[in-house]
Structure 1
């Protein structure tokens, strides 16, 4: 039984389904579907040199890698390598083959520093360190059972109204501007510049996982002041990928208000699980999520490797 590594072929349904299956088994708290994978590849920016890889054994996809350059950072030469192997198919060499293929691809395209998210488990951390990566910051995955109780909906402060993302379908730019501002303040070891509206439309607004109907927006003084952006997998799983408040409106509880509204509407729509993620240094957001009843279900560590 020989393990081989090759490019994902998005037109081959077995490829995207195998990729999605491995990602779900290895990282069940992260929403991904075959359609979202194919969409991401079809709409990747050329300068990202995005290259999803699969490790295959006897015709079965047993490992995956998402590989590319961090094209929206002002710092040149940054790349990412996120490798996941089927939990029942480890110790076959798939992970190492994927890492080596990914590093060659990125080095050939000028990458000098690589970032990789690694689940905080002894075997995974040892694997990363054997391949020359060193630990950096970390982040939590959190899960909430939507079949249980939620905090009651709160009365709106004067001058504040709640809308959905769908209310901005004719002109999503105000949500782009809010997303850009809040994302730039997120704790990270990579600096990002979110200035390309057309790229945001392709990567976020039109992504098949994005749910404008379950995205809640708190509007104050006539502009979006806070929001909770939602994604769903088309089944029973719902996730918030960004919850934040514009700088001028912070300290008023508007992000909590928007997220609570989104959670209630997700439950009413039949979703049974809610997922989100937080940098471990983002104490305020972790506290808000624990107030809702989220529990930490896993932790990932960001690993970094400098290429010579």
Structure 2
């Protein structure tokens, strides 16, 4: 049996569906829909030089990779390659071929530091180490049984605060962009991001097919959004928190917690059965908040880095 690697064909629905299925089998804690995969492949900023790669064995998709340059980081030369092989299709050479193709792409673009998320399992970590990557920070995936769990009751809002939906800002999303940019810049990460391109944010983030503007809750003070909990959904049963954050001037008031609770209650009322979120492993305050909601850690990833000479 022969394994080969090629680019995803976003114009071929069956190819995209196989990519989504392979990703779901490898990492089911993230929402993978064909629409979102096509969006990422076709709408990512050109400066990212983004590629979706497919590893095939006799026509069957058994592994995938998402590869690109962190173009919105203040530090140049940073690339990323996130590679997943289906658990029942490992040890066939797919991972090696995906790493080789990804690294060739990134080094040709001048990348000098490569980052990769690796599931915290012995075989996966050993694979990364064999390819010259060293472990860095960790992050947890968390799951909440939204259908059967007991969410905390909705709380009274502080004076001067109202809860709205992201859909209320559809006519002018710029205040949401400014809030997202501020909170993203403070998010713990090996690779920082500075969101400065409003039009690119509209295309990549605001128009993302997983983003549910009606379930994304926003805390508003004096007409301005100051905290939010962004909701991704598969439009069926699965919900995920894409980002939760608060403007610096309003932190310490529990506003993001209020927004997230509001979003979760409305998601459950809309029929969503399970909720996912992610946390930096060292972000204990946010982990404590998610435990308060009833989330439980279901998996951990470790960021690995390789510095090129």
Task: Normalising by structure 2, report the TM-score.
Answer: 0.98
Aligned mates of 2:134, 2:95 — CA distance in 1: 17
Instruction: Confirm whether residue 215 of structure 1 aligns to residue 210 of structure 2.
Output: no
Q: Deviation of residue 40 (structure 1)?
A: 1.3
5+ residue gaps, structure 1, are none
* 1:2 corresponding residue in structure 2: 2
5+ residue gaps, structure 2, are none
* 1:96 corresponding residue in structure 2: 96
Aligned mates of 2:183, 2:232 — CA distance in 1: 18
* 2:61 corresponding residue in structure 1: 61
* 1:145 corresponding residue in structure 2: 145
* 1:162 corresponding residue in structure 2: 163
Instruction: Confirm whether residue 14 of structure 1 aligns to residue 14 of structure 2.
Output: yes
* 2:72 corresponding residue in structure 1: 72
CA RMSD of aligned residues (A): 0.8
* 1:33 corresponding residue in structure 2: 33
Provide the aligned length of Structure 1 versus Structure 2: 308
Matches within 5 A, 1:118-133: 118-133=118-133
Aligned mates of 1:68, 1:242 — CA distance in 2: 21
Task: Normalising by structure 1, report the TM-score.
Answer: 0.99
Give the 4+ runs in structure 1 shifted more than 3 A. none
Aligned mates of 2:11, 2:60 — CA distance in 1: 16
Aligned mates of 2:26, 2:175 — CA distance in 1: 36
Q: Deviation of residue 39 (structure 1)?
A: 1.3
Q: Deviation of residue 41 (structure 1)?
A: 1.2
Aligned mates of 2:191, 2:4 — CA distance in 1: 32
Instruction: Confirm whether residue 194 of structure 1 aligns to residue 201 of structure 2.
Output: no
Aligned mates of 2:77, 2:154 — CA distance in 1: 46
* 2:86 corresponding residue in structure 1: 86
Q: Deviation of residue 5 (structure 1)?
A: 0.5
Q: Deviation of residue 222 (structure 1)?
A: 2.4
Asked whether the 8 Å contact 2:228–2:256 carries over to 1, the reply is yes
Aligned mates of 2:280, 2:155 — CA distance in 1: 27
Q: Deviation of residue 260 (structure 1)?
A: 0.3
* 2:107 corresponding residue in structure 1: 107
Q: Match of 1:177, SS? A: helix
Q: Deviation of residue 221 (structure 1)?
A: 2.7
